[in-house]
């Protein structure tokens, strides 16, 4: 039976980066990437609308860590070895020129994920990494000599000295079974980064409108988020919604995605909103209310909120009643909507859950239970908010795992 040095399970971002890391640290190692499907680097290809949001510009590692709802303590040790600045250097020294956008997301200058895919494929070819498609892992046995026996769904078998597990995703429950059989605890995978479905047809008419700075809170939970909110034909999306869905992923899963959400469309407290409206009335008493949005609220959203407050289209500020004023303030700062379900954010799904981090060494990304078994990326119970943070987890854990796999091979 064929014996190899390293079996990488998964041909995605983590699998490729980890395989390349092994070869960078030990050039003569025999590394094979086993991918279940017939496609490689699928998430890389669709990330960022096909542009690949490689990472995020942060002033410090501590700032970077604030963007992980789960796994920040684990990553604090990983990022000491390979963090966002290392990612930039890694890609740019391999010919992938990067750019930082206004929101601090970092993309290839080409605006194409193909630049990243081409980089990985070239590196794999140059380093002599073997890739096998259509190889779904079915069974892993730990042998008495410390090696692993691998059996794949297509009947292929081999022995390996080390394994890098780089699979992940909500639909991987079956794929994680071999890890459970080896004694590992799996935190049940759940969707993260999703949008909210709202059955308010009036709100749907505002499809495409963006409130530039809103505050969103889930009623009954402590989590809240601020940022742009996008109104869609099914409900609510945008950075604030996606961020909130990540931080509250477990709680919303338990609620089966049925909950109430409160939106402050202007991210200003009620007292200050009342004060600013009163000042505006004194300065512009004869202006129409509906035709003159305040607080940088988009015109269509302002008209919608005025209609909710029963403010006539011809009503002027000087004629607004106390009741109508109160309703407008409430609509601006305390709009509530019933959420009935979720929608995956494009195809850029992210999963929380995975291998229990207490069973993994954050310094090496090696299992605490089984020597020679390593983990990287989404298979770990780590997830970040949108903006390049999940790829950064993939790059960092893969690089660390690859370095320590090479160290294990040297020792043996």
- Tens digits of residue pLDDT in 361-372: 999 999 999 999
Statement to judge: residues 175 and 305 lie in one domain: no
The answer on 223 and 164 residing in a single domain is: no
Bridge pairing between strands 258-264 and 194-198: unpaired
Q: Do 338 and 355 fall into the same domain? A: no
| pLDDT range class, residue 349, cuts 50, 70, 90 | low
Together in a domain, 267 and 200: yes
Residues, the chain, total?
412
3-state SS assignment for residue 412: coil
Which residues contact residue 102 at a Cβ distance below 8 angstroms, ignoring those fewer than 6 apart? none
Burial of 298 (0-12, 13-18, 19+ CB in 10 A): middle
The helix/strand/coil state of 347 is: coil
Kindly indicate the confidence band of residue 1, based on its pLDDT and cuts at 50, 70 and 90. Answer: confident
CA end-to-end span of the chain: 20
Considering the domain architecture, whether residues 19 and 146 belong to the same structural domain is answered as yes
Examine the fold and report which residue of 344, 360, 388 is the final residue of a domain before the chain moves on.
344
The predicted-structure confidence for 94-103, as pLDDT tens digits, reads as follows 999 999 999 9
How many domains, the chain?
A: 2
Q: What is the mean pLDDT of the chain?
A: 95
Residue pLDDT, tens place only, 296-346: 999 999 999 999 999 999 999 999 999 999 999 999 999 999 999 998 755
Task: Mark which of 300, 329, 344 sits at the end of a domain.
Answer: 344
What is the percent of the chain where pLDDT is above 90? 90
Residues 70 and 94 in one domain: yes
- Residue 107 structural domain: 3-191+348-411
Query: Same domain, yes or no, for 289 and 159?
Result: no
Check whether residue 61 and residue 176 sit in a common domain. Answer: yes
**Residues 299 and 391 reside in one and the same domain:** no
> How many whole angstroms separate alpha carbon 145 and alpha carbon 135?
25
Domain edge (last residue) among 344, 364, 396: 344
The whole-model pTM stands at 0.92
CATH at residue 161: 3.50.50.60
- 54 and 129 belong to one structural domain: yes
Nearest CA to 79 out of 365, 351, 353, 349 is that of 365
């Amino acid at each position: 039976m064929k014996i190899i040095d390293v079996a990488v399970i998964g041909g995605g971002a983590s699998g490729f980066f980890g395989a390349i890391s092994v070869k960078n640290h030990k050039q003569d190692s025999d590394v094979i990437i086993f991918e279940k499907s017939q496609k490689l680097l699928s998430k890389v290809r669709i990330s960022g609308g096909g542009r690949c949001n490689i990472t995020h510009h942060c002033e410090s590692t501590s700032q970077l860590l604030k963007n992980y709802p789960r796994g920040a303590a684990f990553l604090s040790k990983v990022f000491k070895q390979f963090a966002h600045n290392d990612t930039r250097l890694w890609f740019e020294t391999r010919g992938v020129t990067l750019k930082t956008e206004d929101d601090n997301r970092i993309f290839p200058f080409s605006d194409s994920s193909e630049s990243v895919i081409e980089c990985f494929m070239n590196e794999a070819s140059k380093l002599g990494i073997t890739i096998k498609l259509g190889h779904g892992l079915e069974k892993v046995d730990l042998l008495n000599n410390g090696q692993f026996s691998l059996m794949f769904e297509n009947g292929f078998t081999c022995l390996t000295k080390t394994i890098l597990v780089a699979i992940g995703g909500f639909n991987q429950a079956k794929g994680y079974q071999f890890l459970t059989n080896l004694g590992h605890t799996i935190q049940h995978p759940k969707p993260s980064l999703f949008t909210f479905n709202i059955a308010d047809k009036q709100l749907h008419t505002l499809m495409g409108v963006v409130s530039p700075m809103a505050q969103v809170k889930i009623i009954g939970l402590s989590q809240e988020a601020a940022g742009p909110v996008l109104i869609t034909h099914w409900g609510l999306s945008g950075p604030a919604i996606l961020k909130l869905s990540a931080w509250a992923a477990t709680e919303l899963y338990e609620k089966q995605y049925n909950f109430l959400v409160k939106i402050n469309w202007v991210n200003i407290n009620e007292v200050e909103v009342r004060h600013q409206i009163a000042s505006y009335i004194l300065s512009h008493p004869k202006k129409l209310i509906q035709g003159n949005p305040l607080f940088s609220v988009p015109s269509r959203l302002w008209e919608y909120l005025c209609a909710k407050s029963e403010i006539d289209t011809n009503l002027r500020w000087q004629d607004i009643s106390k009741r109508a004023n109160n309703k407008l303030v409430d609509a601006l700062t305390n709009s509530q909507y019933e959420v009935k379900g979720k929608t995956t954010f494009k195809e850029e799904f992210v999963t929380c859950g995975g291998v229990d981090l207490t069973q993994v060494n954050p310094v090496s990304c090696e299992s605490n239970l089984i020597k020679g078994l390593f983990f990287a990326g989404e298979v770990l119970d780590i997830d970040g908010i949108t903006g390049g943070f999940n790829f950064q987890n993939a790059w960092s854990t893969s690089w660390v795992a690859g370095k320590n796999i090479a160290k294990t091979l040297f020792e043996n």
